[in-house]
Amino acid sequence: MSNVTEMKRLAYEIRIHVLDMLAEHSHGHVGGSLSIADAIAVLYAGVLRHDPKNPQWEDRDYLVLSKGHCGPALYSALALRGFFPMDWLYTLNHLGTHLPSHVDKNLTPGIDMTAGSLGQGVSCACGMAMGLKLSGKKNTVFAIIGDGEAQEGQVWETMQIAPAQKLDNFIIMLDNNKQQLDDFTDTICPLGDMRRKAEDFGWFALDVDGHDCAAIADAVAQCRAAGKPGFINLRTVKGKGWPEKEAVNGNHGVKGMDHAMVAGAIEALKAELAAL
């Protein structure tokens, strides 16, 4: 297994930069960006084949952030891994930025697919995996989707077609943080047992703690060895790392953020990072 401590360190650093850049911008999609930090850290600290100096490397693994509004977490990881300068983070969503509110492959080095219209990213990821498979390539395609996004019909079309096409190079990671834009997911449209549903569609499916880097890395390894599409249901907490906003309504996008508001959370994250 890859260095789990490095994964944990990267997760802390991602959360610190997410809070810092969104405070600089005064608002943004903070809840989901924080909930996927551990999954992103596992990918970029030991799972994804990638080359920051050559983002279009043909043998890389692909990541489609289908919940494209959570770009701040991915941007933080990409900057920390050297895809672009760290000071780009503080241009988030500014005029002329390389880092728009929703990820855009034409603007940002390291972004493999433009996303934001929920459901479309995972459809594209499935098509990418199919194309690579038909070309005899060994790349793996990862897609991170949200639980609110899983209400979209395109997600379920993907759930059907990937096993039928035997896409063993395709892994979906569901950020199951139990909340969506307007309320808790169970209040709006309950998803039920997503691991079992994925399994019934023909996926190799696992249910893991989405804030346990070692468990996520192990789940990815199992999916890669399974011989069928992989589905990882990540049990996460929306707003993880900002105690005042964890698992509370209204943390999807927080307006009026400033550095004083997040200072305590950043200080605590830095202390935990230093203790690793």
pLDDT digits (tens, 9 = 90+) for 218-269: 999 999 999 999 999 999 999 999 999 888 888 887 888 889 999 999 999 9
Phi, psi of 206 (to 5 degrees): -135, 155
Please report the beta strands in the chain, taking only residues with DSSP state E, as ranges in sequence order. Answer: 27-28, 62-65, 141-146, 170-176, 204-209, 230-235, 254-255
For residues 213 and 11, is the Cβ–Cβ distance under 8 A? yes
Number of domains making up the chain: 1
Tally of helices (H runs) and strands (E runs) in the chain = 10, 7
Give, to the nearest 10 degrees, the angle between helix 153-164 and helix 120-134.
Answer: 20
- Is 90 exceeded by the pLDDT of residue 182? no
pLDDT in tens, 14-24: 999 999 999 98
Question: Distance between CA 204 and CA 214 in Å, rounded?
Answer: 19
- Give the CATH number of the domain where residue 13 resides: 3.40.50.970
Residue 219 confidence (pLDDT)? 98
User: Domain of 145?
Assistant: 4-274
2 pLDDT more than 70: no
Per-residue pLDDT at 229: 98
Which range among 76-90, 141-155, 190-204, 252-266 shows the weakest confidence by mean pLDDT?
252-266
pLDDT of res. 260: 94
Q: Across residues 114-133, what is the average pLDDT?
A: 95
Q: What percent of the chain stands above pLDDT 70?
A: 99
Residue 264 CB: number of other CB atoms within 10 A?
Answer: 12
- pLDDT above 90 covers what percent of the chain? 89
Residues 6+ apart with CB under 8 A from 130: 165, 167
DSSP letter for each residue of 235-275? E--TTTT-GGGTT-TT-SSEES--HHHHHHHHHHHHHHHHT
What strands lie across the sheet with 204-209, from one edge to the other? 62-65, 141-146, 170-176, 230-235, 204-209
Q: Is the pLDDT of residue 1 over 50?
A: no
pLDDT in tens, 25-83: 887 889 999 999 999 999 999 899 999 999 999 999 999 999 999 999 999 999 999 99
